[in-house]
Each structure stands twice: as C-alpha cells, then as structure tokens.
Amino acid sequence: MRRLRYAPQRRPSVGSERPGVGSDLVPAEAPGTPAVRPSAKPVARTSAQPAAKSPAEPVANSLARTPARTPAKPSGRHAAKRPPRKAPALVKPLVKPLVKPLVKPLVKPLALVTALLSAVTLVLLATVSGCSSHDAHSVPFGPTAPMPQVARQPVGPSDGTGYYRVAQEPSGRWMLRTPDGRPFYSLGVDAVRLDEATDQATGRCPYCEAAAAAYPDPGAWVAATGGRLSNMGFNTLGPGSRFEVFGAQFAYTPQLDLSVGGPADWFDPAFATHAQEVLRARTARLAEDPNLLGWYLDGTLRWDVGLLDEYLALPEGSPGREAASAYRGDPSGFLESLASHYFEVTTRLLREFDPHHLILGVRASSATPPEVVRVAGRYVDVFSVDADREELPDLQALHDLTGRPVLVSAFTVRAGDAGLPNTRPEALPTVDTQEERGDRYAEFAAAMIADPWVVGHNWGRYVDDPPGGAAAPGGDSNVGLVGVDDQPWAALVLRVAGANAAAADRR
C-alpha cells in the first residue's frame, strides 16, 4: 500500500549523537529532509498530489524577496526633530539605584535568547531552501552524479587508542570503544547510497528520479539522509554505503570482497596474490581513518560438505585437490582445513596493509557449520552474522564457539502493504503491515542490545528494491527504511527510533 505525503512537522527527539568521532554532526532537521509522516494507516497516493509545504516556507520566501529599503526622510510636522524629554533632576538619582540591579542580570540572558532565535531562524531558512522546487532534469543524479567531497576530521586519542577497539568489560559484557575511548554500540544501515538499483523491468532508477525531484543537488541529499539516519538513532554505515560523502558523522564498515574475482581454489597461491591486489587498492586511503570501525573480509561465503567433492574434482596437481585428498570421506574435516586456510591468509594480509582496524570476519549465514564458526574465532576480532531467517540465530552459541563478540551484520523484515512483490530473496520474513515491521525491529533490537556478547546490529538496506526487481542483486522486496519515492515508512521508522534509543545504555 502506498503512502500520503504529509506536511513537514516536528520529529520526536530520538536522535542519538554519536560520541567521539568528529563534531560535524548534521542537525536534527537537516536541510531538505522530507519529514517523517505520522503513524497513520497508509492511504493510497498518486504522483499528481503535491507535497505539502513547510509552514515556515512562506515566511522565508517573503524575507528572501523583500528588497532592502532606505528609511524615508521626515516631512511635515515630523520634519523638526523633537528634543528628548528628560526626567526631572530630583527623580533620576532616586530611580537609577533601584532599576539598575534589576535590569543588569537580565542583559546576558536576553542576549543569549536573541542569539538562539537567530540560529533557529537560520536553520529554518536553510531547511526551506533545501526543500524548494527546481528543475529535476537540470541536476545530475545516479551512478555518474558528482558527490560532494567531505573532509574527514581525525580523532586524537585521549583515553583511547585513536581507533575503534573491542574488549570484554569486567562485568563480562563485550563493548566497542570509540577512538577516544568511549563505549559504543553500533547501530548500522547497509547500502546507504544515492546511486541505487535500476529496475530490471523498466531500465530506470526510480529512487534516483525521486531524489532528483526532491533535492537541489547530491549534497542536499547527503545532508537530508544523514539527518534522517541520526534522527532514527543510527551511528554506522554498513557495506554498500557511500560513506565517504558523510564526513565524520558516522562510523563505517566496508566490505573488501577478497574472494570475488579470485580463483575458486583458495589453496592456490594465486588466491593470496589476488587478495593482496584488492587490499592494496582498497586500504591505501583508509588504513589510518579513525572513523573506520572495521573491515568485513567478504560477504556471505558458501560453507557446506559438498565443497570436498568439488575440490577433489579440480585438475590433477592443483593445490586444492592435493589438500582435499587428505580428507577423503571426511567433509567436516576438510571444511575446517579450508576455513583455516582462508582466514589465515586473508587476516594476515589485511594486518600487513592495515594494522589498526578491527577485523569483522565475513558476513556469515546463520546456517554456517559450527566447525567453520569455531575456526573463524581464532582469526577475527568480531564474528559477524546475517540474520537471514524468521528468527535471530543463536547468538550466544556463536559467541561460545568463537570466544569473540558478535555483530549482526544484516537483518530485515518486509511487509505486504508496501505494494512490492516480496518474492526475492525468498528466505526473508514477511509480515502484513509497516506497524508489524516496526514491532519486529523493536523485538529483535531489544534482544540484541540486551545480549552481553552482541556489540551492534545493522538494518539490511536504506531503500526498498524497485517494483520490477533490481537488476542487481535481483531483489524485489520491501527491505528499506524508505521507499523508492524517498518517503520514509512512518510506522516503521518511528518504532526504529524508539528501539535504537535503548542502546544508549550500552554506550
């Protein structure tokens, strides 16, 4: 079911300021941010309905259009300057000592109030200017759009190390620490980007078109999106995000994809060579960035007993076939050997290129065999897992197997009232309404925040898949916080913001 555009209104004060990583945080109402609409029952809307204007817009526009005026010269009976009236000589000495003590304490507070009112006025004007109409076709959006370059502000160590760290507290609870040493629970969103997926049915990018109609330039989109995410309580950008355009506002967790494009035989020395080339290209400019929380080595990798037969079928003399020959009839033992080789090679090489940042492992499936989970714990700082089923995986079991804290690298739920097919990916849970989506997020988030071995969780995507299915990776589901029209799912995001606020106790 589609949604109405509501007039912009005040958001609930649920934004969570991220400690310790720079000071250039986008204000709660960022320029150009379309407001979150009230949690009303969704009503069908057509594209012909105009978006409501901000109540401040007429005032701001009138101020912008009003020319400066020169004071008129006095004329007629006002031409002669009237001398000011003076208080009687006997009254002034009596009144001044009584009035001065009363007025003096009020001067500084009044000046402060005046300054605050001026600041609020500037924010309102900036917000309105970000929402002003413009020719959508005159602004470049999409994969080739020039994105603003934002300088990152280094964070120096105080009682920290200058980079994110993870450690187990004396209480037994695992905790991330910011570069300056403060507690941090990672609340992330994956795939926060303007150059979204193309609809495979139409060949168009509906989100790109909606953004071009809503914002005067890509920089306005960055400010608006950053403000929205902060208002919802998020503090981290997950894999697939254009983190470089948000400056120091968020921590971020890029995915290296070390196995993508490399040889299928991980025992082949060419695999290590390929991984080196990827690391050299990806880590050079980020290895000393304090806003980088940690690296994912890869996305979801295949780990199953059928791998033994595939390696045994490799050409005679290949390194993988020779390694597999020692495990004929023992697929579980081969999985453990393969996992050990993969994690040893990738983590050793990553440490050579970047000795500072956390290694978050791979984004493991919830069905990853225990022998692989156990091996990963010997090499990674944090074990990451995608919650890709109806229920959360057994996070305590993952912690017990690895001895490492757990990060839920993606979870989402879709709703039938979004008007999308919701057929791909098949395994994702589906509910009837956005209210139920919000309830499911709150339920999952509360469980993860309460678990002492969990250090963060990520929502799966910022934007829904296009209606005709994404050309890549192929999804057609209601997986986002906003639709392809860039309008937030109100009932969902209000529940998300409330649930995320509970993470303050972990910081």
Average pLDDT for 82-102: 51
Q: Is residue 446 part of a domain?
A: yes
Q: SS3 of 421, please?
A: coil
User: What are 265's two structure tokens?
Assistant: 């035989």
Say what the alpha-carbon torsion angle 307, 309, 314, 318 is, to the nearest 10 degrees. 80
**Phi/psi class of residue 271: alpha, beta or left (left: φ > 0; alpha: ψ in -120 to 50)?**
alpha
Instruction: Using alpha carbons only, give the angle 470, 476, 478 rounded to the nearest 5 degrees.
Output: 125
Average pLDDT for 280-308: 97
Whether residue 454 is predicted with pLDDT greater than 80 in this model: the reply is yes
- Confidence category of residue 58, pLDDT binned at 50, 70, 90: very low
Q: Is residue 149 part of a domain?
A: yes
Cis amide leading into 473 (omega within 30) = yes
N-term to C-term CA, the chain: 37
User: What are 8's two structure tokens?
Assistant: 């912009």
SS (H, E, C) 12-53: CCCCCCCCCCCCCCCCCCCCCCCCCCCCCCCCCCCCCCCCCC
Q: Rounded to an integer, what distance in angstroms lies between the CA atom of residue 252 and that of residue 255?
A: 10
> By residue range, what is the domain housing residue 408?
141-253+360-506
pLDDT of residue 38: 38
Whether residue 440 is predicted with pLDDT greater than 80 in this model: the reply is yes
pLDDT of residue 389: 82
Average pLDDT for 71-76: 40
Residues 7-20 have pLDDT tens digits of: 333 333 333 333 33
User: What are 97's two structure tokens?
Assistant: 């000592």
Whether residue 445 is predicted with pLDDT greater than 90 in this model: the reply is yes
Q: Is residue 370 part of a domain?
A: yes
E-assigned strand segments in 282-440: 294-295, 358-359, 383-387, 406-411, 414-415, 430-431
Q: What is the CATH number of the domain that holds 468?
A: 3.20.20.80
Whether residue 209 is predicted with pLDDT greater than 70 in this model: the reply is yes
Nearest to 339 by CA among 423, 266, 257: 266
pLDDT of residue 20: 32
Whether residue 461 is predicted with pLDDT greater than 50 in this model: the reply is yes
DSSP 8-state class, residue 236: E
pLDDT of residue 473: 75
Whether residue 227 is predicted with pLDDT greater than 80 in this model: the reply is yes
- Confidence category of residue 89, pLDDT binned at 50, 70, 90: low
Q: Which of residues 60 and 300 earns the better pLDDT score?
A: 300
Q: SS3 of 175, please?
A: strand
- Confidence category of residue 472, pLDDT binned at 50, 70, 90: confident
Main-chain dihedrals φ then ψ at residue 314, nearest 5 degrees: -65, 160
Longest alpha-carbon distance in the chain: 115
- Confidence category of residue 357, pLDDT binned at 50, 70, 90: very high
- Confidence category of residue 505, pLDDT binned at 50, 70, 90: confident
Q: Is residue 381 part of a domain?
A: yes
Q: Rounded to an integer, what distance in angstroms lies between the CA atom of residue 9 and that of residue 54?
A: 8
Q: SS3 of 430, please?
A: strand
Whether residue 346 is predicted with pLDDT greater than 90 in this model: the reply is yes
Q: Is residue 210 part of a domain?
A: yes
Whether residue 403 is predicted with pLDDT greater than 50 in this model: the reply is yes
Residues 144-188 have pLDDT tens digits of: 444 444 444 443 344 578 999 999 999 999 999 999 999 999 999
User: What are 281's two structure tokens?
Assistant: 């290209």
Whether residue 245 is predicted with pLDDT greater than 90 in this model: the reply is yes
Percent of the chain with pLDDT over 90: 65
- Confidence category of residue 427, pLDDT binned at 50, 70, 90: confident
How many domains are there within the chain?
Answer: 1
Q: Is residue 148 part of a domain?
A: yes
Q: Is residue 124 part of a domain?
A: no
DSSP 8-state class, residue 5: P
Average pLDDT over the chain reads: 78
- Confidence category of residue 193, pLDDT binned at 50, 70, 90: very high
Q: Is residue 279 part of a domain?
A: no
CB atoms under 10 Å from CB of 417, counted, come to: 20
Are 424 and 479 within 8 A, CB to CB? no
- Give 500's Cβ-side CA count (13 Å radius): 31
Q: Name residue 431's beta-bridge partners.
A: 415
- Confidence category of residue 380, pLDDT binned at 50, 70, 90: very high
DSSP 8-state class, residue 83: P
Percent of the chain with pLDDT over 70: 68
Average pLDDT for 282-290: 96
User: What are 98's two structure tokens?
Assistant: 């009584």
Main-chain dihedrals φ then ψ at residue 80, nearest 5 degrees: -80, 130
The answer for residues whose C-beta is within 8 angstroms of residue 457's C-beta and 6 or more apart is 186, 187, 188, 407, 408, 411, 444, 445, 448
Identify the burial level of 12 via C-beta atoms within 10 angstroms of its C-beta, where 0-12 means exposed, 13-18 middle and 19 or more buried. exposed
Q: Rounded to an integer, what distance in angstroms lies between the CA atom of residue 325 and that of residue 314?
A: 11
Average pLDDT for 18-45: 36
